[in-house]
Structures are given as C-alpha cells and as structure tokens.
C-alpha cells in the first residue's frame, strides 16, 4: 500500500474552489481559493472520525474498484482505470466496520494513501470525508483531442454553466419565481460560498460539493428543479404546449435555470446532471437514496429557449414600499424631475434600485440624505431590467433612525459628497 509520512486531506491550492455566482452577482469577486486554511475543508479527516462504510461508499461513487478482501473484514480498493489482476501504484485496504481489530490502522493508512495519490478521484473522496456533502455532477459530451484533451473554452463553458445552475438552485431556496433578476442575489451568493467546485476534467466533467449542514436546501431544490425541467421539456416536445413550464416554477424552474441548461447543452452532443446524496447524512426525506442523472440533448434547446423567454416576459412587476439610503442623485438642470438611486434597507430583495422623482420628491430625497436620514417610497419594482428600477414612485418621506445609524449615513455623505451636488441645485 502506498503511504505518506504526514498530513492528510486536500491542502491549500490542491482542493476544489469555492463556487462563484454568475456574472453580475455579488459573488463575482469571491475568493479563487479559500484563505481560511483552518476551516473544515482543510482539516485532514482523522481515522477515528471516519466511518468505514461511508469511506467505502465514497470510493465506489468516485470510481474506485473493490478487488477482493476477506468478506466481513476488509476490502482492497484500486483507483479508477486500474486493470484487474495487476499491481498498481495505489491500493487501499478499507475495513468493513470498526469491529475489525486493526480498523483504525487500516483507515489511517488508507487516508494517507489517498492524500499521497493526488488524483481527482482521491481528492474528491477526501473532501467529501472532511465535510459531509451532497455532490452535484455535470457531464458534457464534447469532442476531445489527443489523450482526452479539450479546448480551453470547453472547460470555461462547463464551469460557467455549472455556476449559473448553482445560482439558480440557490435563488430557488429563497422564493419561487419565473425570473429573479437582481432579487435575492445577496442571500443566494452567500449560500453558494459554502459550495466547493472541483477541477473541470477536460471540459467534460465537473463535481461540486454542497455541505449538508449549511447548503443542502440548494442541492435539494436543484434536484427537484432538474426533474421538473426534464418533464416540462418532454411535455413541450410531445404536445407543443408550454403549460408544464408554468407549473414547474413551484419546483424551482426559472429563467435562470433554463438559461444555465442552455449554456450547458449548447455545443455538445448531450449533457447530464446528477445530484448524489451524502452517504454520511443519507437522502433527504421523500427522496430516493439514488437517482439516475437527468439528461438533456441539443434537441431540447428550442423548448428551453422558449421557456427562458416566456419566464422573462411573464414575470409581473411587484408593488413595494422600499426604505433605503440615497447613494446617487442626478438631474439635467437646477429644477425639475431627477433620477435617484437607493441602497435598499428593507422592502425588496434587491441591493439597489433607481427611480425617477418629480421636483418635490427629488428635493425631499436630497434633504433627507443631507441630514443623514433614509427615505421611504412606494412604487412598483419593474421586472424589465432585472427588478432594478422602481416605477410610479410616490409618497417619498424621510425615515427616522437611531443616532448610530445616522452618524454612519453622515459619514457616507462626507465620503461621497460629489454625488450629491445636484441635490441642492437651485434650492
């Protein structure tokens, strides 16, 4: 058995990367690699904390082959692709239970050998052991070059589609909508930071690890949404009707998810997505312990594109009462209406909105900010443009806040005074 002298588990720079949200989201500028090397992803799994049954299940999931061993005692496992009956560089002896007398020693040697191996199949097992995780897998059937190589854009397309799909799943944990736009992006990005994404192998295969303790709702919602999307596409192709896509919104299907599926399938001969539950935690209530991957083909693209456009066009504007702080004001002259941008504090699941105010409301907004107060405004959050614009804005009033918050707002004004020159123009 191959062993190493010390340390187990994926070290900094070797393991998967934190998932990032799709372009334009708050997670775009996230860490390329985790910086907290004391975090759970980087704590080597200790033998006394590893369940041999879980280790065996993970080895089988990641392509390792059991090549024998005394039944009821231990099994000998070889890495993916190792020919049967031949000696290989890495061979693991894994006890079947802790009842075996030398179980802890064998686990220690097996974990050390996995760390020493450095292959994707070994790293993924160590990551899943370090933090119990559901695994989301993507496959794309794309042409390959010599020795299974793929063009650089193929890997980028796979990673981009996977991130967009994770974002769609995270958004669906917050609410059900055909189109989210800028709504719920902050909480969704925060949930995605819990996810690690491995290397895109040749642009054909990618795995994400979703911690059960903090982000299982993401994996569960995406699992349900993928099957609902598959059924809706089948219904559209069989009957020509789009009704199934309307009902699929309740399962988490959205404009964002259909766009992610289009990005995944486009330019391939087909693509698959699978959600596999953590063997340590088991399947969620109401879910089968294992399911087949959900498959999509180029023939599904017209239905997916039609659904994406349908979701984008049909999502209605939303009546809201927003409280926020003014971060920018602009108008073309000393009087008349002007444009105001707010940082939202309450009333809508977006970070910022812009609106056009008449002369009196514009003056109220400017004066409220100059004295360190947010404003409250009624209107409709317009779906066109991603729910970033408030239309029919009215009833603009200042809102009282405590002294600490007012001091913070005044400091912000002093740091950004050039943005508010127009606020007092002509007054």
Alpha helix (H) residue ranges in 203-321: 212-239, 243-248, 255-265, 301-314
CA–CA separation, 33 and 31 (whole Å): 5
Q: Which residues pair with 211 in a beta bridge?
A: 133
Query: Helix 255-265 to helix 152-172 angle, to the nearest 10 degrees?
Result: 160
Question: Which token pair is 327?
Answer: 């971060």
What band does 150 get if pLDDT is binned at 50, 70 and 90? low
pLDDT of residue 419: 44
Whole-model pTM above 0.75? yes
Alpha carbon distances (Å) from 391 to 181, 357, 380: 16, 9, 5
pLDDT of residue 398: 92
Q: Are 134 and 218 in contact (CB under 8 A)?
A: no
Average pLDDT, rounded, for the chain: 83
Which pLDDT tens digit goes with each residue over 258-312? 999 999 999 999 999 999 999 999 999 989 888 899 999 999 999 999 999 999 9
Nearest Cα residue to 379 out of 351, 347, 349, 401: 347
Which pLDDT tens digit goes with each residue over 322-372? 999 999 999 988 888 999 999 999 999 999 999 999 999 999 999 988 888
pLDDT of residue 344: 93
pLDDT of residue 378: 96
Q: Which residue has the tokens 């795995």?
A: 207
Please report, rounded to a whole number, the percentage of residues in the chain having pLDDT higher than 70.
79
Tell me which of 28-32, 84-88, 323-327 is least confident: 28-32
Which pLDDT tens digit goes with each residue over 199-219? 777 788 999 999 999 999 999
71 versus 131: which is more confidently predicted? Answer: 131
289 versus 226: which is more confidently predicted? Answer: 226
Q: How many residues does the chain have?
A: 427
């Amino acid at each position: 058995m191959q062993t190493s002298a010390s340390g187990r588990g994926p070290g900094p720079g070797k393991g998967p990367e934190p998932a990032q949200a799709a372009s334009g989201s708050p997670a775009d500028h996230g860490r390329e690699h985790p910086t907290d090397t004391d975090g759970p992803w980087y704590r080597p799994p200790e033998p006394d904390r590893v369940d041999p049954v879980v280790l065996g299940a993970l080895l089988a999931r990641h392509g390792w082959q059991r090549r024998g061993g005394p039944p009821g005692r231990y099994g000998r496992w070889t890495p993916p692709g190792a020919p049967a009956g031949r000696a290989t560089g890495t061979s693991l002896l894994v006890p079947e239970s802790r009842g075996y007398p030398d179980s802890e020693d064998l686990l220690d040697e097996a974990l050390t050998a996995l760390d020493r191996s450095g292959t994707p199949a070994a790293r993924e097992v160590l990551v899943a052991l370090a933090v119990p995780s559901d695994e989301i897998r993507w496959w794309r059937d794309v042409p390959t070059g010599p020795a299974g190589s793929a063009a650089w854009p193929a890997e980028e397309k796979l990673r981009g589609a996977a991130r967009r799909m994770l974002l769609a799943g995270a958004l669906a944990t917050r609410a059900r909508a055909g189109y989210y736009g800028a709504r719920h992006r902050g909480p969704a990005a925060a949930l995605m930071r819990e996810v690690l994404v491995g290397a895109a192998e040749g642009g054909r295969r990618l795995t994400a690890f979703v911690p059960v303790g903090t982000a299982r709702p993401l994996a569960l919602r995406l699992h349900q949404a993928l099957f609902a999307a598959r059924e809706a596409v089948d219904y559209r192709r069989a009957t020509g009707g789009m009704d199934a896509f309307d009902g699929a919104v309740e399962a988490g299907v959205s404009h964002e998810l259909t766009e992610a599926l289009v990005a995944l399938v486009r330019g391939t001969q087909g693509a698959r997505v699978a959600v596999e539950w953590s063997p340590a935690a088991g399947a969620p209530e109401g879910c089968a312990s294992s399911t087949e991957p959900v498959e999509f083909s180029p023939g599904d693209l017209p239905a997916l594109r039609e659904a994406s456009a349908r979701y984008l066009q049909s999502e209605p504007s939303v009546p809201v009462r927003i409280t926020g702080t003014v971060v920018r004001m602009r108008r073309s002259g000393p009087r008349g209406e002007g444009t105001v941008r707010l940082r939202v504090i309450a009333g809508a699941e977006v970070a910022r909105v812009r609106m056009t105010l008449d002369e009196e409301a514009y003056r109220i907004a400017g004066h409220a900010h100059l004295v360190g107060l947010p404003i409250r405004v009624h209107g409709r959050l317009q779906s066109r443009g991603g729910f970033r614009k408030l239309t029919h804005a009215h009833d603009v009033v200042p809102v009282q806040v405590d002294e600490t918050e007012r001091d913070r707002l005044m400091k912000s004004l002093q740091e950004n005074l050039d943005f508010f020159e127009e606020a007092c123009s002509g007054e």
